[in-house]
Amino acid sequence: MSIIVNGIPTELICIEKLLKQGDPLAPFLFLTMAERFSGLMKNAVDKALFSSFKLGNEEAVISRLQYEDDTLCIGNQPWKTS
């Protein structure tokens, strides 16, 4: 498996054990990891490691969108690439 970052696949990640579809633990584990990921993204935004997207006059901060089993990180790179 690999992860796509800015349209470029990362190196392959070896997955040794998987949950089977319909496993009763799958929803619990997904929600647990989604909550942890949300916390990590909030910390990254707070520490200016990730620049979130600001929306509207009140500047609602959006750094990720999650729906069912999909996650989309939205923002700008706070660092300059050369």
| pLDDT tier, 82 (very low <50, low <70, confident <90, very high otherwise) | low
As a whole number of angstroms, the distance between CA 82 and CA 79 comes to 10
**pLDDT tens-digit readout, 51-76:** 777 777 767 778 888 777 778 888 77
* Residue 69 CB contacts under 8 Å (≥ 6 apart), including other chains: 30
As a whole number of angstroms, the distance between CA 31 and CA 80 comes to 34
Q: Which residue has the higher pLDDT, 35 or 74?
A: 35
Report CA torsion sign: 11, 12, 15, 19.
positive
* pLDDT given at position 16: 72
* 64 touches 72 (CB < 8 A): yes
**Token pair of 67, please?**
């729906």
| pLDDT tier, 4 (very low <50, low <70, confident <90, very high otherwise) | confident
